Amino acid sequence: MGLLDWINRVLFKKPPDSALTLRRNDICWCGSGKKYKRCHEESDRKYFSSRNTSCTRST
């Protein structure tokens, strides 16, 4: 399970935008079969919040 998890992280570094519509008890988008809250919810939250702050007025 560790290896699979690692592969998922490397291949799917950025969560799809559909991750924003997932509920905590939904199955995670990464295909692990785990609930979202037990899988990518936290890392996705960090990813989306950092994307928001870093994208503000980059021009």
Q: Which is nearer to Zn ion, 32 or 37 (CB)?
A: 32
Q: What angle do CA 14, 59, 12 make, to 5 degrees?
A: 5
Would you state the structure tokens that stand for residue 14, as one six-digit string?
């950025």
Q: What angle do CA 7, 53, 56 make, to 5 degrees?
A: 120
**Shortest Å distance, C-beta 40 to Zn ion:** 3
**Shortest Å distance, C-beta 52 to Zn ion:** 20
**Site membership for Zn ion, residue 22 (CB under 5 A):** no
Give contact residues for Zn ion (rule: CB under 5 A): 28, 30, 32, 39-40
